[in-house]
A and B are shown apart, each in its own frame.
Chain A
Amino acid sequence: MSVLVFIEQRDGKVRPVSREALGLAVRLAPAFGGEVVGVCLAPSDPGLAALGDAGCDRTLLATHASFARYDGVVDAAVVAKAVEQVKPGVVLFANSSLARDLAPRVAARLGVGLASDCTGVTADGGALTATRPVYAGKAVQSVRFPRTPALLSLRPKMFTPMTGAGKAGTVEAFAPGELPASRARVKDVVAQAGGKIDLTESEIIVSGGRGLKGPENFKLVEELAEALGATVGASRAVVDAGWRPHADQVGQTGKTVAPKLYVAVGISGAIQHLAGMSSSRCIVAINKDPDAPIFKVADYGVVGDLFEVVPALTDAVRKLDVHA
């Protein structure tokens, strides 16, 4: 049986998270004794032949003008049709904002279970076990799949994409069939200022909390983020206070993140915040209270006045010229 990967595209480009899913597919394929097959819905080929390098043997490409924008009712029907044709042992999705609707729909359509937002997957003779954080990361659940195919969505940044896989990357036309009538239409997509990367897909995050004392002082966080090439995040306290939009919130009622570097500025470290960022590879905390819980999870802590420490750190990073 093969491993089927949903290849997500936006604006004519394959999204990087789909390469992460392909990376896992390549590792799972031997246990299932099959090939890695992609399925992509797009108005035209978004350069799928290049996915051979990322481990894809072949990709089914369904083309239609309406595939430029996601429509759950339509897209789920097409993906389910591809699953029925390929008969894979596993279907992988990247857990993007698109797949958070698509994957459960496909699961409901096929009548099989879905393990969402997985951070680990092992195959033991074709029997998959997926691990996934629950309670925003306060615990980890292991799940198994009583039926075939097993559907999984993968947390961004947790699976390493392959390069130089040397697979064929053949592109095959896939007839989507008659499309159901559309009842939800994306009218517009408003880009965030500066083309900001989503927190869940960021390599580096600088988050600010109540220690900043007011929304105007977030410029300190923004300047450090700019110097590091990072995305700005926030604690629940400052989002609830209206200083930052909810899209910036890290924690149990916000986003769960796992960047390479997480810098917490003026964040004490409430349990619901720690749950959302504790799987970051390296955590730096800057806080004036040496007893703040954030220091218990921080690899590197600096006790001090953030109004002095943060600008000094920004200066030091700028002098490094990290982008050189």
Chain B
Amino acid sequence: MIQVVCIKQVADTETRVKVAADGRSLDPAGVTWIMNPYDEFALEQALRIKEQEGSGEVVVLSLGGAGLPTTLRNALAMGADRAVHLKADLVPDSLAVARALAAEIQPLAPAIVWCGRQAVDDDAAQVGSMLAELLGMPCVTSIAKFERAGESATVERDIEGGREIIEVTLPAVFTADKGLNEPRYASLKGIMAAKKKPIEEKPAVLGEPNLEVTALALPAPRAAGRIVGEGVGAIPELVRLLREEAKLL
């Protein structure tokens, strides 16, 4: 059984965002690049399934620039069997990415395609469901629990005010939420083994853009905060402000 895990390299979540000179993108100076945190949950689940079954292949697929192999190497060190790097200087809109990924995935005929719930840079949360549509597969987004039973899987996800339990016929796309599992760290043995694993590089086939980013800006800063007071003595004033100034209570 083949599983494909789509990953994205993103700026670390502790990054202080600065806008680049083009006024539309992140200034990459001083940024630490990591595997998108949600993609780690996706990769971990794929590895666990392979380990439980004792066979199969986990293929990591990603679209990105020259720095991407560091992240792909990390995925291989965690235990993926091979990686495919679709080379593109700039990561385009979600539909363009999904089309490029789907073209790679289709001939592999995987039983499961994994993605993270969303990338923590553009927060679009689109590629997984778009892949499913392009591949003609069902998709469950933001799954927090996964159990496979033969040709189907039972998964759970949080929705507004509750939790859905969904039975899905494979092949299918799943996007992983935090809480699905606890991703492993690459072992020293894994890191050594990853050096010998293949990363296939090829140019990404990208069509016309479907969305145009015209600006990236920092949000208006909040007005400076105010300390109402110290300890229990501040409560009457806090309640008064919430009622009379903020008009909330």
A binds B: yes
- In the assembly, what is the distance between CA of A281 and CA of B11, in Å? 28
Interface status of B205 (Cβ within 8 A of chain A): no
Say whether B213 contacts A141, CB under 8 Å.
yes
Would you give the 0/1 interface string for A113-142, flagging 1 where the beta carbon is closer than 8 Å to chain B? Answer: 111110000000000010011111111111
Interface of chain B, helix or strand or loop or mixed?
mixed
Say whether B178 contacts A253, CB under 8 Å.
yes
Which of B127, B130, B226 contacts A301 (CB under 8 A)? B226
CB distance from A21 to the nearest CB of B (A): 15
Interface status of A219 (Cβ within 8 A of chain B): no
**Nearest residue in B to A204 (C-beta to C-beta)?**
B248
Chain B neighbourhood of A136, CB < 8 A: 13, 120, 123
Say whether B249 contacts A320, CB under 8 Å.
yes
- In the assembly, what is the distance between CA of A189 and CA of B123, in Å? 26
Say whether A185 contacts B139, CB under 8 Å.
no
Which of B95, B132, B213, B248 contacts A107 (CB under 8 A)? B95
The total number of A-B Cβ pairs within 8 Å is 293
Within 51-100 of B, Cβ neighbours of A (below 8 Å) are at: 93-95, 98
**Nearest residue in B to A255 (C-beta to C-beta)?**
B158
- In the assembly, what is the distance between CA of A143 and CA of B226, in Å? 35
The verdict on A252 contacting B227 (CB below 8 Å), with A116-B126, A186-B164 known, is no
- In the assembly, what is the distance between CA of A197 and CA of B166, in Å? 21
Which B positions have Cβ atoms within 8 angstroms of A?
Answer: 11, 13-17, 19, 26, 37-38, 93-95, 98, 120-130, 132-134, 136-142, 144, 154, 157-169, 172, 177-179, 208-219, 222-232, 234-236, 238-239, 241-243, 246, 248-249
Which A positions have Cβ atoms within 8 angstroms of B?
Answer: 71-73, 76, 96-98, 100-105, 107-109, 111-117, 129, 132-147, 183-192, 195-198, 200-201, 204, 228, 239, 245-247, 249, 252-254, 256, 260-261, 271-272, 278-279, 281-285, 290, 295-305, 308-309, 312-313, 316-317, 320, 322
